[in-house]
Amino acid sequence: MDPLPAPAARCRSPSPRRSAFSRVSPLTCAAAPAGVRLPAAGRSPCSPVSGSHRHRRRARVSAFARYSLYARTRLGYLFYQRQVKKARERYPHGHSVPQPYCFPGLKILPIPVLSNNYSYLVIDTGSSQAAVIDPSDPLAVQAAIEEEGVMLEAIFCTHKHWDHSGGNWELCQKHSSCRVYGSALDAIPQLTHPLADREKVSVGCLTFEALATPGHTVGHMVYVLDGGPFGSPPRLFSGDLLFLAGCGRPFEGSPETMLASLDLAMSLGEDTLLWPGHEYALECLTFASLLELDNSALEQKLQWAVQQRQEKRSTCPSTLGEEQTYNPFLRTHRPELQEALGLWQARGEDPDAFRARVLKEVRRRKDLYQAT
């Protein structure tokens, strides 16, 4: 979850030769579903923010305090319960139309929950054993389990935030043999089986590998489903590390930490299927189009996403190969993005240190964009 707005900050002017926010791409004028914010006419999300240094400092402190309340106290759980209630009322059938993906011996069912989250029911169809990733709403997940007629053997949590782990307790009550996996570094509810980096877990014929990807939280993990037994590519369940055209905020890590986690994910291979924790594609792609004005792959993907969301269809999965062509958080090495941001590598600067600086700037502009 990205529950808090990032603190406002003063923006340095981008390169005059290729201004990232000097104009709005025509694609941003396309109709967007309710709740998706497009840039306001005449206002750049990179405009200098008014207010004193003291005011901005108070905003940063306030944002950190709100995040701490959400992530570390019972108030966060009460806020999550309110989210669930509102989402059930607003989206009685989910925010997106479920689209199951079937392969020989394997079925993946995305479950749209809350206002933009995804849980995933992953089924070994031969044994009818199943695992669920990030059960946000236990009622929605249980309904899918019953409809599919499967046995829930495992819960995999990418991280502790309630919109990814809030359903653990109720599901464990209904499925007494269910194991809950995740990092011991995160306070994951009902955790029964702490996982180490690169540890593998089997559920029927399904084999998941846990990868430590800190940054969003200190104990964030992603899960890679081995596609070999099913004659298909690997599948990455990325939680809040990586979205279609976006990535999660580094609430509990530095840009360097987040960059290392993103690089680890990208090492899985271009054919890896990406199943993110949120339906953020339209917002992320629209933002990305303001950074790279001449990226044809990005323009095509944005047009496709607009059509998908107008029809309430999910935008996942994508592939990691695709993501490299338009996701700015994965393009920190690209000269065209660096130039658009007005950043250049200093003499003697370590290449990864420079990429972390680029990532930090993309993140800052994304946070300003979300605040407009």
216 belongs to the catalytic site: yes
Please state, in angstroms and rounded to a whole number, the distance separating the CA atoms of residues 259 and 280.
20
Strand pairing report for 129-133 and 273-276: unpaired
Task: Choose, from 175, 186, 278, 367, the residue flagged as catalytic.
Answer: 278
Tell me the C-alpha distance between 94 and 88, whole Å: 8
Task: Evaluate the CA torsion angle 108, 281, 166, 89 in order and state its sign.
Answer: negative
315-325 residues labelled b (16+ CB within 10 A) or e (exposed): bbbbbbebbeb
From the candidates 2, 124, 134, 159, give the one annotated as an active-site residue.
159
- Out of 134, 186, 240, 367, which one is annotated catalytic? 240
Check if 93 is active-site.
no
Query: Which tokens is 201 given?
Result: 């877990």
175 is catalytic: no
Dig out the tokens for 282 from the structure.
Answer: 């339209």
- Active site (annotated) includes residue 53: no
Cβ atoms of residues 116 and 278 within 8 Å: yes
Question: For residues 372 and 368, what is the distance between their CA atoms, to the nearest angstrom?
Answer: 7
Number of H helices, E strands in the chain: 11, 15
- Nearest CA among 204, 210, 216 for reference residue 254: 216
Instruction: Output the CA torsion 257→262→265→268 (10° steps).
Output: -120
DSSP class of 329: G
Active site residue 55: no
Q: Please pick, among 95, 164, 175, 220, the residue that the annotation labels catalytic.
A: 164
| Beta-bridge partners for 194 | 182
Catalytic-residue membership of 159: yes
**HSE-CB for 252 with a 13 A CA cutoff:** 20
Active-site pick, 161, 175, 220, 367: 161
Catalytic: which of 134, 137, 163, 186? 163
Burial pattern 220-231, b for ≥16 Cβ within 10 A else e, equals bbbbbbbbeebe
Active site residues: 159, 161, 163-164, 216, 240, 278
